[in-house]
Amino acid sequence: MRNLLMTLAVLFSGIMMAQDVKPTFEKEGNTIKGTFYYETGEIRQQGFYNKEGKLHGEWKSYDATGKKIAMGQYENGEKTGKWFFWEGGKLSEVNYSDNSVASVTTWSNKSDVVVNYKQ
């Protein structure tokens, strides 16, 4: 579970590996909307930066087919509140407090069992 969370956290770290398709940046009010792409042109990740250049607001990640795999909020560069991660038939809800994982709840389509993890 912790390895999955670390993998997903890296996904949302805002650090992108080199890509053949260049990201786009659009000004929206006081923020900049960044969109990062797969080589196929599908959106890989999309979210906002504040005027200081820190991740701020809603961020979403998609797999190569365009299916949403993660979403959450940044506040001045720090993860905050509830984040959601979809993998296979599972949904994980990760609660962040002070930019750290406070709790994790995982649901599975295969059963009504809910697994809770609190740090």
86: in domain = yes
16: in domain = no
pLDDT value for 111: 55
Select from 13, 12, 46, 45 the least CA-distant residue to 31: 46
73: in domain = yes
Planar angle of CA 116, 93, 36, nearest 5 degrees: 150
Neighbours of 25 (CB within 10 A): 10
What is the overall mean pLDDT for the chain? 83
Domain with residue 107: its CATH number is 2.20.110
95: in domain = yes
The pLDDT tens digits for 32-83 are 999 999 999 999 999 999 999 999 999 999 999 999 999 999 999 999 999 9
59: in domain = yes
User: Residue 88's pLDDT band (boundaries 50, 70, 90)?
Assistant: confident
Q: Which domain holds residue 66?
A: 2-11+23-118
Domain tally, the chain = 1
18: in domain = no
Helix (H, G, I), strand (E, B), or coil: what is residue 15?
coil
Q: pTM score, two decimals?
A: 0.72
